[in-house]
Amino acid sequence: MPNNSGARGPYKSGLKKQKLIIESAVDLLIDEGYHNFSLRKVSQRAGISGGNLQHHFKTKEDLLEAMLDSLISVYLETFKALSEGQIPPKERLRKILEHVILDLNSKSTTLIFPELWSLSNHDKRVSKSVDKMYERYRAVLKDCVAKINPKLSTLQIEKVALFMSASIEGHTIFIGYKRNWTHHTKSIIEMAYTSFLFLIESGNIPE
């Protein structure tokens, strides 16, 4: 019964509908890209009137923000899960790489992230949210890196985590859903693990 006890706040049916709207919106974003994204299409997918959509999300920007929050929260939870448990650090690194790189194969990730990158370049709010997500992403990596080679300085850890996460993201457009090199995903994981581990253990990272 979240914030619904008194006379204020959305009704239960309203919260459900908002979820439905966000799902419809994300599906549309995946299917058509942001340059073909419109509130009309969202309302059609959700099976509601345009007026009702605007009742739930005052503006397009509001809906976009809600979509972003919804999308990012999934990844944040994943990162949290990946940083929990008691596992040897190298093994954890492998697990992380396996998970995030395999995730690139998914339709949703393949199709949504390029939209986010593009939007980030033209919308401060989006860029802020995306930046924050990547920060959390790197935090998981940094924790892992520090445990593998405790001699690394903070700056070195920072840099290698940045290098790792950026390198991984770049594969989206090559091994993503229905892309040309999806079948090389396993090999990519191997090369990532091998080369990243070398960087970390050798300590050959600029200060």
Sign of CA dihedral 121, 122, 126, 131: positive
Q: Site residues for its own copies, window 158-197 (CB under 8 A)?
A: 159-160, 162-163, 165-175, 180-181, 184, 186-188, 190-192, 194-196
CB of 28 to DNA, least distance (A): 10
146 contacts DNA (rule: CB under 7 A)? no
One-letter amino acid at 171 equals H
What does the angle CA 33 – CA 38 – CA 39 come to, to the nearest 5 degrees? 135
State the alpha helices, DSSP H only, in the chain: 12-32, 39-46, 50-56, 60-82, 89-103, 107-120, 124-148, 154-170, 172-175, 185-202
Residue whose pair of structure tokens reads 């190298």 in the numeric block: 90
User: Minimum CB separation from its own copies for residue 58, in Å?
Assistant: 12
* 3-class DSSP state of 33: coil
Regarding 41 and contact with DNA (CB under 7 A), the answer is: yes
Q: How many residues bind DNA (CB under 7 A)?
A: 30
Judged by beta carbon distances under 5 to 8 A according to partner kind, the member of DNA, its own copies, none in contact with residue 186 is its own copies
Output the six-digit token pair for 36: 């073909």
Residues that bind DNA (CB under 7 A): 2, 4, 7-15, 17, 36-41, 48-52, 54-56, 58-61
Residues that bind its own copies (CB under 8 A): 32-37, 110-111, 114-115, 117-122, 131, 134, 159-160, 162-163, 165-175, 180-181, 184, 186-188, 190-192, 194-196, 198-199, 202, 204-206
